[in-house]
Structure 1
Amino acid sequence: MPVDGPRREDEVRIARERLLEQGLVRASVPASLVAKEIEQSWRRSVSHRVDPGAEPHVLGEFDPDSAILRAAGRVLDQWQTNLTDSRMTLFLADEEGRIVSRRIVDAQDGRLLDRANAAEGFNFSERTLGTNGLGTPIEARGVVFVRGNEHFNDALAQLACAGAPIKHPITGRIVGSLSLASHVDVASPLMVAMVRQAGHEIAEALEHMADSRDLELARAYRLFRSSRRPVLVMNSETVMTDLPSLAHLDAESHAVLWEKLRLHRWDGDSLKLELPMLGTEAMVRRLGRGGQDAIFALEFLTPAGAAPSELDAVVSETGSGTVPILRGGAASPRPQQSPYEVVQRQLTTAAAANGLVRVVGDPGVGKRHQASKWLRQRTGQEPEVFTVRDLAADGLFWAGGDAALREGRGVLVVGDARLSGELRERLEEFARRPRPDGDRGARLVLTEYPFDADDPADSVGTGAGTVRVPSLADLRGELPSVVREVSAELFPGAPAPRFSPAALQCLLAWPWPDNVAELARLLTDLPQVPRGGLIQTQDLPVAMHQTRRSSLSRYEEAEREAIEGALREAEGNKSRAAEILGIGRTTLYRKMRALKIEADERMIAPGP
């Protein structure tokens, strides 16, 4: 054992268990026992409800040709050779904390690591396993040394791991982590210096691999950062900023803002952007080409105030002919009030009239779900559900509905068919009928499709007692919060779903013809959602990828078709595809990123 001995290991284990048992507020950890970054990681692990006995799970297949693997390959080879007699193992993880490479020096160590599922494909993120040498550097954004029982997961207690985050040298974004692991008996503090050096070497390799889009973004940032005002520069995948209060600009707000700026009808190369939730405004400039290669520079005209909201931007042209203003709406990663919370509040207001409450909306928007949820919360009971056809059946609805309302239960009539004028009047009179033996907040709710604007006799969807459930097309800027709310109802207790910027941009561009029903099917079909894994574009249905192509020029469309044809001919082999096209492999990678081409099994031509 290290010089601290078994006694320290026991004290560390007891302190960690006490934190689990007593909770974050009551429990304290002696400052002399573990490093500050370890205690902070323990507390994050407890707050995320990480199970210390959980086994790592396979997060999914990873791209063996990814940038981080290509950059780290030679570095790992050299360090593996240098560590031949050291009994140490090298691990490389991607930004999700998933192991993408393991370099073992001694076969005996391999068996120990296999028992802990420390192998390629397994998820070692801090949210999954708690404190460890791969996930914690990503969360802490710094080097950590985790020894023995400092690991949050019991299966890792025999290991000592020095870990370092890998930061992209141009963007500053964490793209993965590197860990040097050994048995706790042979651990050395020198592992920290070694893993830090190896991480720097991988970052240098990433810089050499940087494509022209990254370099162009970096040049734009250097140009604008000399301004006296804070600036933010972004393209479709990356944000660079020196504004501290915007450091938490996440993938959602970036994707929403970039999509709105990209689709805006630019008369010139600049516009004014108001961000009320930040207490600031910005001048936005469009740089470079349009479409997927667009770069936007935001120069903040006033100091930022409160935390930013998700940028649900709505363009309004100024009447004076000056620059247009793009207004940021209220939508942070956790908005104060979601669109469906507004619907619930409107239902309560509509019920004050003590008559029939109508819920209208397009197919699939969730009219029945919202009405049932409101009735349950109001009465504490499941509502009695009927269809419009039941109204025509003698006694079926009128007796059963009346009894339910007298018992204090809500009644829901699902408008699966058009209601005649006579039945509507009868239903409205039935809803207003006093019921002295019951009620207790119970109401009669009718769900219907929107009224026909071309038919003057059709009054459905109008009146004080009517609440409209918006379609997803109406909620495009609030889509991230809608996704979280729908996911929370589908998977109670599961972490919020996470989408890569490119995947989120696909969701924002998708028309959602079946509304929330389609979104619910998508989330149910994605295995990453209940586990909190990152959802990439290749995880989405193929049709959603095509929405990204609408912004391509005719030249870009032809270029995309040529690349896809070469990839099919090469059966997905990028090096061979580059040869077919007569371009370098690095150029091919850059063009594939710019044109949002996914090289997977769909690129392979079908057999005979």
Structure 2
Amino acid sequence: MVLPPEPASTHHHRDAHTTVSQDGGLAAPSSAAAERIAVARDAFLVDDALSPGSVRGPILASWIRSRELSVPADHLELPYETAAEPDTPLLRAARPVVAELADQFATEPVSLILCDADGVVLERRTGDSTLNQHLDKVWLAPGFSYAERYVGTNGIGTALEGRRATEVFGCEHYVEHLEDLACAGAPIRHPVSGKVVGVIDLTCWRREANALMVATASSMARRIEENLLEQSGRRELTLLQDYLTTVQRSSGAVFAVSDDLLMMNDRARELIDPADQAPLLADAGEALRSGRARQLVVDLPSGACARVHCRPSWSDGGVSGGILQVKLTSREPAAVRPAHPTITTALPAAVGSGALWAKCCQAVDRHFRTREWLVLEGEQGSGRTTLARATHQMHTPAGHVRVLDAEDFGPRWMAEVNEELSTGGGTLVLQRVDRLSASAAQALTDALEPHRESTDLERPWVVATRGPMPDAHPDAPELTELLGVFPRTIEVPPLRHHIEDVAELVPYLLSRLTRGADLTCSPEAMRVLMRNRWPGNVEQLYQVLRKVVARRRTGVIRPDDLPAETRAITRRVLTPLEAIECDAIVDALIDADGNKAEAARRLGMSRATIYRKIRGYGISVPTSGDD
């Protein structure tokens, strides 16, 4: 290998029996030390205590993060990015550096890997065919993400998490399929903003690991950063000049934004609430990437409505920078009663005051007042239909609402749609239109089209609901045409994104379920409910509380009153079989006072299996020990 091994300095001892070379890099563990690390990793995976110093501190910290993220240790589950930009500032800065080093390593068993800030592999250069084939088998290939949240401890993801150069040898990897490899990654920072924009990584066989790998990766990162500085200098200077000119000519709020830089004047800091800045900049960033000046109207979480003039300073290869001039056109002070009623109706999905939920409700409310048709996009159970109903009933309680589910599409369904459109005066909610077939979507488009531009005051307010847009597969052309009939799409956030509203939803839902009986939720039980991710959203919370009310209709709900499923913090809705298994494990743990070994014995499963199931389901039960 081109990188020669350096003699280790034996008087600089580190964790896990590693040594430090004269250049400061870690030498690979000896065979005996590697075996001890493997034993330590196995112990860690079954929650056994580790001997002090058996694992390096940064590696142990990464293992803990990996376990908390529920990364599977026995197999790889990696997302694939299909829409990577072919030409970005990072790629342009890194390619000459990677190409030069790749030529030097052409005959060596080492791979040069460039990743973006999300750990997605952008380029891989490998001269050794055997290593190349192995990297394909473990999906360390362009398009796949090696972020810690997917792969656990590794040179790419751990360097991104730690924001520093990182070496990972053999069994220090969290996933067992990577134990034959060694890697060293160094983060790449933008020279203007200091933001980490990627990582450069060297990967080789564990037996070929060299103390100079991390030094080489760090040197490459610095060279890429120098190239980034040369690239960005002209752009940032142009943006700065435009910003200073605009600030001198305007007394209003001014922002200068690019992918790596944000500047704002004092008026912007005073006028725009910090919580409002993120959605404002996100919408404006999309406009700047179009490469032409545009005017936007942005609904902000605080209730303000901002008019934004977006003027690009430069645009190149999908990235851009420009100037934003912002004016707030409306704001309703908290102490003043609003001119129009806000949505406080007693409907479960309309209960809540979190920033994301409030922004969504205000946007829907505004579109109802202008009778503008819209699409409500969100997960099943997030409250799309109920939000439309709540808005209608708040403004026109005497008016009629018709809800038609696209699952029932047919001649009679279309006749009902046409009847509502011709009758007018009410609200028509078309549920789950993304499930329509191509011919059905086309038929619905033909029915809606004649009414979309109508100026008739009695024109019905039409709302369509759909699930989240899939990343991998774009909408069918017929569905795209149908959605084009609706001028605006509003995203209804899942419950986990406004989890603070659980504290308001629970008392309301309990009141509905008990018809006003005196049943309250204790702070301890509320904390359990608020720790859940609620993949089934408000509907799942409602069903959980139904189970509670079936057993207790008055008094105070304690954690023990909650169904076993609330002890599992899962990222998805469990299948019926999984739910039964999860409940059985929780019940066994409670009966065993949190003793995992005893719970495993009662369930007839091994200790390793129950640990894996507990982590997989995200079960959280107070423990008293394992022995």
TM range (shorter): 0.3 to 0.5
TM-score normalised over the length of structure 1: 0.46
Tell me the TM-score normalised to structure 2 length. Answer: 0.45
